[in-house]
């Protein structure tokens, strides 16, 4: 939580009000936040945003072209004969 408080001050937020809100847990489920943070750290994730495409991690805010290329590379790696998702039925 110290990093969140540091970031709040860097963003010129009211530090005392931010600390009270964060420490009280009034606006969020603090245990859920801590659990999510612990899970991210255990996976070695440095921050957000981040994307997993078929197990490959892409950190940061990639361009559409970068993300599309990554998806297309993974689709191209599907072995022949494996049925691919063709989208929802046309009637829906």
Residue 13 has pLDDT above 90, yes or no: yes
pLDDT of residue 81: 73
Burial class (CB in 10 A: 0-12, 13-18, 19+), 10: exposed
* Nearest CA-CA partner of 64 in 51, 74, 77: 51
Specify the pTM: 0.46
Q: Domain total for the chain?
A: 2
Scanning the structure block, which residue is given the tokens 């659990």? 35
Confidence of residue 92 (pLDDT cuts 50, 70, 90): low
Scanning the structure block, which residue is given the tokens 């964060």? 22
Domain containing residue 66: 46-80
Is residue 27 in a domain? yes
Is residue 54 in a domain? yes
pLDDT tens-digit series, residues 18-67: 998 888 877 767 788 889 889 988 988 888 888 888 888 888 888 999 99
Residue 62, number of CB atoms within 10 A of its CB: 16
């Amino acid at each position: 939580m110290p990093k969140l408080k540091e970031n709040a001050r860097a963003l010129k937020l009211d530090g005392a009000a931010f600390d009270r809100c964060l420490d009280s847990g009034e606006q969020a489920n603090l245990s859920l936040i801590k659990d999510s943070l612990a899970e991210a750290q255990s996976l070695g994730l440095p921050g957000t945003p981040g994307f997993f495409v078929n197990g490959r991690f892409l950190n940061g805010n990639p361009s559409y072209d970068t993300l599309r290329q990554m998806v297309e590379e993974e689709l191209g790696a599907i072995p022949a004969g494996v049925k691919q998702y063709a989208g929802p039925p046309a009637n829906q």
